[in-house]
């Protein structure tokens, strides 16, 4: 269909792409200028330390993936075979919580459970015969990564299992297939198809994990590229090394993202899951108790840190914390920056979605133009450049001309907005495209375009998906530590930054109280997003 060629929707899309381009291009410019200014330094930084860091980055990601995905196969299978398991819905909902929890909150929950002074320190010390050293270094990183990714992988695998048609289950029970046979013939084939994508996604999340490694990793022996970038900039003032680390990180994530695209993985992750009931499985008592044990262990592992977060948070002097000026200021700053960031994320995403649709309509059956492809997948490309990398690039670029820390609010808003885009686009696009399909010709005929179309036609339809995207983007931005860790200062503190500095000065009780506050804020936002996204408008 040929519609107006001067469509403002396309202009909006170009503007959004330009904004993203400037943000990421500026980071690359910073890295390039620094490398050009000091090539020997950047070259010299490719030393054994750097390769050790790179090796550790890959090693911990590989272990985390294995430890998350392999048990998830068992858990997903157990959950799928027992649709009547008591509290199953609740368990699945609980498994969605880590997705919404800021990494620093989870890290604190894990520390208050397995840390040197954690709830389990006594028991663990007794087991290992001596005093418990606490869960730092590789073990801490792995526990945290499994805490995040075991539930994610379980939910995704369960989704794959639910694509098995009900008739196959009926057939299996009619043919008298036991647990082993139905695993081999039905469950495993369904899960195997989804497995590469899921494993790839988890690997990607672990390679770019920053906060967990920063808070739980111990010293140079357990450091990843992202944390090393942060340390090079904030502590060693060694931009040349930061450039080399960043380049290596980009190369690494680019390889992983390309591999993921080959595997057809959904890199934006899945927040919603439909849970249908199905009861054609007859399990023997032995299998039943085995499955129940699996589910309970997973539940304890995932629920433990959450309970610890709440328990240790309540032990803190919450009234005093609430009265502290710095806490109030950080909360205010966090909410303002996260709101602005979410607004920007929604605006950028909506522009891309509208432009893609307009371009697809106007080309008819022809080849998609380069511009259309950018509006289509542009949001996904930001996955190649993690927040810390973008932040590092700008840090290096501007450090000699202006006060880096004055840039903090803008960096937090812009980088987090762009990072939230893949999620926002996924919330907005289906509703937008379905409505546009219905309205396109009638709008063209009646001459409804531009502002009128946005106001009268698109806004009423998109209000809900936009609110979902907004709440999700806000939760994401609220919990982020990556950018603010680089740019934060006494002048501009967000809640995660304040939390990190309280941890750094060993004010553990304060940190626990702040973690509870931050965790609840993000959880509330995610629940709002979920609720808005599920209810059908009318």
Partner 1 sequence: MTTTGEAVRLDRVVFSYADTMVRFDVTFDEGKVTAIMGPSGAGKSTLLNLVAGFEQPREGRILVGGKDVTGSDPSSRPVSMVFQENNLFGHLDVAKNVGLGRSPALRLTAADRSDVDDALARVGLGGMANRLPRELSGGERQRVALARVLVRDRPVLLLDEPFASLGPALRDDMLELLMSVQAERGMTVLFVTHQPEDARKVAENMVFVEAGTISANGKTTDFFGDSGPEAFRRYIGSERG
**Residue ranges binding partner 1 (CB under 8 A):** 1-4, 364-365, 438-439, 441-442, 444-449, 452, 456-457, 460-461, 538
- CA torsion angle 306 307 312 317 (round to 10): 90
DSSP letters, 382-443, are GGGS-HHHHHHHHHHHHTTTS-GGGGHHHHHHHHHHHHHHHHHHHHHHHHHHHHHHHHHHHH
For the bound state, the minimum distance from the C-beta of residue 365 to partner 1, rounded and expressed in Å, comes to: 4
Residues listed for the chain: 538
**Closest to partner 1 by CB, 55 or 438:** 438
Comparing CB distances to partner 1, the nearer of 79 and 457 is: 457
**Nearer CB in complex with partner 1: 6/277:** 6
User: Smaller CB distance to partner 1: residue 5 or 180?
Assistant: 5
Contact 61, 207 (CB under 8 A): yes
At 470, list the tokens. Answer: 């907004």
Least spacing, CB of residue 362 vs partner 1, in Å: 10
Instruction: Name the minimum Å distance from CB 452 to partner 1.
Output: 5
How far apart are alpha carbons 391 and 54 in whole angstroms? Answer: 19
Least Å distance between CB 374 and partner 1? 24
Q: What angle do CA 71, 73, 75 make, to 5 degrees?
A: 70
Least separation in angstroms between residue 440's CB and partner 1 is: 9
Given a contact cutoff of 8 angstroms between Cβ atoms, the answer to whether 485 and 230 are in contact is: yes
Least spacing, CB of residue 13 vs partner 1, in Å = 20
Provide, rounded to whole angstroms, the least separation between the CB of residue 274 and partner 1: 25
Q: Give the list of residues 6+ apart from residue 89 with CB closer than 8 angstroms, or none.
A: 275
**Burial class for 196, CB neighbours closer than 10 Å (0-12, 13-18, 19+):** middle
Q: Which is nearer to partner 1, 1 or 314 (CB)?
A: 1
Query: Whose Cβ is closer to partner 1: residue 284's or residue 438's?
Result: 438
Which two tokens mark 237?
A: 């003032």
Sole residue written with tokens 């810390």: 388
Please, which residue, 365 or 370, has the CB nearer to partner 1?
Answer: 365
């Amino acid at each position: 269909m040929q519609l107006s060629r001067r469509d403002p929707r396309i202009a909006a899309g170009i503007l959004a792409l330009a904004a993203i381009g400037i943000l990421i291009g500026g980071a690359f410019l910073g890295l390039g200028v620094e490398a050009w200014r000091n090539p020997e330094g950047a070259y010299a930084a490719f030393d054994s330390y750097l390769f050790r860091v790179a090796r550790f980055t890959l090693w911990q990601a590989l272990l985390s993936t294995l430890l998350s995905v392999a048990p998830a196969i068992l858990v997903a299978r157990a959950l799928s075979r027992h649709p009547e398991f008591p509290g199953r819905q609740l368990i699945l909902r609980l498994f969605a919580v880590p997705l919404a929890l800021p990494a620093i909150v989870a890290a604190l929950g894990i520390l208050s459970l397995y840390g040197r002074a954690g709830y389990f320190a006594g028991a663990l010390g007794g087991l290992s015969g001596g005093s418990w050293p606490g869960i730092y270094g590789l073990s801490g990183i792995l526990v945290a990564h499994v805490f995040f990714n075991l539930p994610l992988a379980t939910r995704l695998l369960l989704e794959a299992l639910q694509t098995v048609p009900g008739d196959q289950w009926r057939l299996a029970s009619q043919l008298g297939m036991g647990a082993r046979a139905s695993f081999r013939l039905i469950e495993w084939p369904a899960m195997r198809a989804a497995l590469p994508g899921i494993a790839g996604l988890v690997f990607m999340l672990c390679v770019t994990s920053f906060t967990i490694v920063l808070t739980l990793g111990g010293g140079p022996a357990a450091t990843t590229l992202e944390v090393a970038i942060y340390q090079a900039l904030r502590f060693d003032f060694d931009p040349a090394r930061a450039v080399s680390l960043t380049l290596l990180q980009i190369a690494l994530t680019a390889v992983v993202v390309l591999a993921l695209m080959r595997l057809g993985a959904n890199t934006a992750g899945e927040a919603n899951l439909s849970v249908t009931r199905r009861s054609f499985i007859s399990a023997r008592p032995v299998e039943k108790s085995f499955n129940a044990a699996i589910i309970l262990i997973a539940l304890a592992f995932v629920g433990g840190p959450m309970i610890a977060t709440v328990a240790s948070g309540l032990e803190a002097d919450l009234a005093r914390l609430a009265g502290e000026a710095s806490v109030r200021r950080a909360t205010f700053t966090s909410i303002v920056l996260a709101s602005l960031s979410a607004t920007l994320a929604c605006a950028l995403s909506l522009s891309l979605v509208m432009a893609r649709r307009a371009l697809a309509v106007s080309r008819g059956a022809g080849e998609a133009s380069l511009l259309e492809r950018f509006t289509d997948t542009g949001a996904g490309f930001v996955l190649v450049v993690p927040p810390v990398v973008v932040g590092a690039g700008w840090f290096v670029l501007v450090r000699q001309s202006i006060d880096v820390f004055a840039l903090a609010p803008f960096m937090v808003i812009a980088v987090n907005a762009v990072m939230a885009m893949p999620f926002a686009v996924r919330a907005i696009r289906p509703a937008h495209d379905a409505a546009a399909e219905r309205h396109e010709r009638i709008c063209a005929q009646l001459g409804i375009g531009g502002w009128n179309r946005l106001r009268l036609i698109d806004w009423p339809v998109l209000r809900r998906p936009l609110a979902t995207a907004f709440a999700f983007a806000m939760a994401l931005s609220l919990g982020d530590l990556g950018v603010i860790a680089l740019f934060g200062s006494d002048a501009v503190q967000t809640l995660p930054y304040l939390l990190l500095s309280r941890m750094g000065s060993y004010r553990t009780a304060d940190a626990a109280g702040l973690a509870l506050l931050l965790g609840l804020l993000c959880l509330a936002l995610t629940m709002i997003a979920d609720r808005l996204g599920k209810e059908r408008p009318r």
